[in-house]
Amino acid sequence: MSRLHGIEVGHGPIRLFFLHGIFGQGKNFGNVAKLLSEQITSVLLDLPNHGRSPWTDRFDYDLFADLVADELEARGASSAPVVLVGHSMGGKIAMRLALRHPGLISHLVVEDMSPVARTGSDDFQHLVDSLCSLDLASITNRKQADEQLAGLVADPGVRGFLLQNLHRDTASGGWRWLPNLELLRHSITQLTGWPPITGSWDRPVLWLRGANSDHVQPADEPVMRSYFPRERLETIPGAGHWIHADQPRAVAHAIAEFVGREA
């Protein structure tokens, strides 16, 4: 399989890799990475089936964790472990990577996600179904795509986030989606799940929770601690599920302080 796509930001001595959530891309962490650029060199990865990274034929968190681990190893993590930050879906991949490939990671940051299976996947299903329903052949510009999507997704901020994934094909001149939407569409149960896994990882873990998000519940903390006994929880005020978009400075500060204190 081809290498994962990544963008490097910053020139600091600490190396950090960001893993985004569903429908995201590595560049979504650009603002946080720039705020950390003096202290940290960040790599903003596109996860499998997203952005400019290769597609897979199945949705499998352990497969994705192994593919990211391959990328970390290709970038030298075997000899110099790196900081790993994962949001939402990327948080699950990051946690499983730490458990499966413990020697590659020095510090782990998990944004608004827990190592548990969740019910209530209707929101994700609605979003992916909405994207699949767009008639790309009739679209000549992004404004038209936004107008088509507005009848299905009312929030303009969410529409803007989703439409970052719409790409004009230079060869054909038409439009296509960067994510593997058909795979995601049929994998919502796997997306919201947490397959059984054993073991624990005894290195520092920072668990960031959005104050306005319900993705992390109080009952989740004992489960988190069973896998990651050195975890600590921090709540970011004024943030929903997309913490790094809502409060980039607070997230950057939390990461910098965590890595510096736990070094």
126 and 107 in a single domain? The answer is no
For residue 205, is it within any domain? yes
Q: Which of 30, 27, 31 is nearest to 47 (CA)?
A: 27
How many Å separate Cα 49 from the centre of its chain?
Answer: 12
Instruction: Name the domain boundary from 160, 185, 210.
Output: 185
126 and 114 in a single domain? The answer is no
pTM of the full structure: 0.96
Q: Is residue 182 annotated as a catalytic residue, yes or no?
A: yes
Cβ pair 108, 98 in contact under 8 A? yes
The whole-angstrom separation of Cα 22 and Cα 182 is 13
Instruction: Tell me which residue has tokens 């929030």.
Output: 155
Residues 146-159 as b or e (16 or more Cβ within 10 Å = b) = bebbeeebeeeebb
Cβ pair 248, 205 in contact under 8 A? no
Cβ pair 95, 89 in contact under 8 A? no
For residue 53, is it within any domain? yes
Structure tokens at 78: 């075997």
The structural domain count of the chain equals 2
Q: Is residue 186 annotated as a catalytic residue, yes or no?
A: no
Question: Would you state the pLDDT for residue 120?
Answer: 65
179 and 198 in a single domain? The answer is no
For residue 245, is it within any domain? yes
CATH number of the domain enclosing 252? 3.40.50.1820
21 and 87 in a single domain? The answer is yes
Cβ atoms within 10 Å, residue 235: 14
How many Å separate Cα 87 from the centre of its chain?
Answer: 4
Question: Would you state the pLDDT for residue 261?
Answer: 78
Question: Would you state the pLDDT for residue 123?
Answer: 85
Question: Would you state the pLDDT for residue 1?
Answer: 66
For residue 131, is it within any domain? yes
The whole-angstrom separation of Cα 217 and Cα 162 is 26
143 and 113 in a single domain? The answer is no
Cβ pair 33, 25 in contact under 8 A? no
Query: Residue 54: which domain range?
Result: 6-118+194-261
Which one of 8, 38, 147, 182 is the catalytic residue? 182
For residue 1, is it within any domain? no
Q: Is residue 121 annotated as a catalytic residue, yes or no?
A: no
Q: What is the pLDDT along the chain (263 residues), one digit of tens a residue?
A: 679 999 999 999 999 999 999 999 999 999 999 999 999 999 999 999 999 999 999 999 999 999 999 999 999 999 999 999 999 999 999 999 999 999 999 999 999 999 999 876 678 899 999 999 999 999 989 999 999 999 999 999 999 999 999 999 877 778 999 999 999 999 999 999 999 999 999 999 999 999 999 999 999 999 999 999 999 999 999 999 999 999 999 999 999 999 987 65
37 and 55 in a single domain? The answer is yes
Q: Which of 120, 61, 128 is nearest to 94 (CA)?
A: 61
34 and 156 in a single domain? The answer is no
Which one of 87, 101, 107, 241 is the catalytic residue? 241
Q: Which of 21, 22, 25 is nearest to 4 (CA)?
A: 25
Instruction: Name the domain boundary from 185, 213, 231.
Output: 185
Rg of the chain over CA atoms, in angstroms?
18
73 and 38 in a single domain? The answer is yes
Question: Would you state the pLDDT for residue 167?
Answer: 93
Which one of 42, 88, 114, 213 is the catalytic residue? 88
209 and 100 in a single domain? The answer is yes
For residue 25, is it within any domain? yes
